[in-house]
Structure formats: C-alpha cells, structure tokens
Amino acid sequence: MARFLWSAGTILVALGIAAQLFGWDAIMWIPSAVLDALLWIPQAVVEALREDPRTYGVILAGLALMLVARLLSRRG
C-alpha cells in the first residue's frame, strides 16, 4: 500500500510541475483525445442503430445468444 501511495504521489507531483510549466490546456489534450477516440465507437453504434434498427436488432440478438451459450458452456 505504501508503494502505491508513493507512486500516486510521484505522479501527482509530476503532473503539477508539468501543468505549471506548460499549462493545463497543453497537458489535458491527451486525455481529451483518448476519450474522443473511445467514445467514437459507441456513437457509431448508436447512429447505426438509428439508421437500420431491424438489422442491428438481429445482430444484437445473435450476440446475446452467443453470450448465453458461452456462459452455459462454462458451467458444465
């Protein structure tokens, strides 16, 4: 636990120094870009569902059945 706290403290100190030197806007563009990249996939799925809900409904039902089959196969 002490090792984790030391590491977290080191990261926070480094982040604070970098923010002081470069500014928060320069530091925070990286997490913003990563978040935008990760949110692109769910947004594309929602948009596709709105365009053709029956087709993707069938696909989602198939995926659900595959998931249930996987869970049942693990039990025995």
Q: How far is Cα of residue 36 from the mean position of the Cα atoms in its chain?
A: 10
**Looking at the whole model, is its pTM more than 0.85?**
no
The span from the CA of 46 to the CA of 60, in Å, is: 12
The reported pLDDT for the residue numbered 76 is 62
Calculate mean pLDDT across residues 16-38: 85
What pLDDT, on a 0 to 100 scale, did the predictor assign at position 69?
Answer: 92
In the predicted structure, residue 40 carries a pLDDT above the cut 80: yes
In the predicted model, what is the mean pLDDT of residues 21-25? 86
User: Torsion angle, CA of 36/40/42/48, rounded to 10 degrees?
Assistant: 150
Q: What is the DSSP letter of 52?
A: -
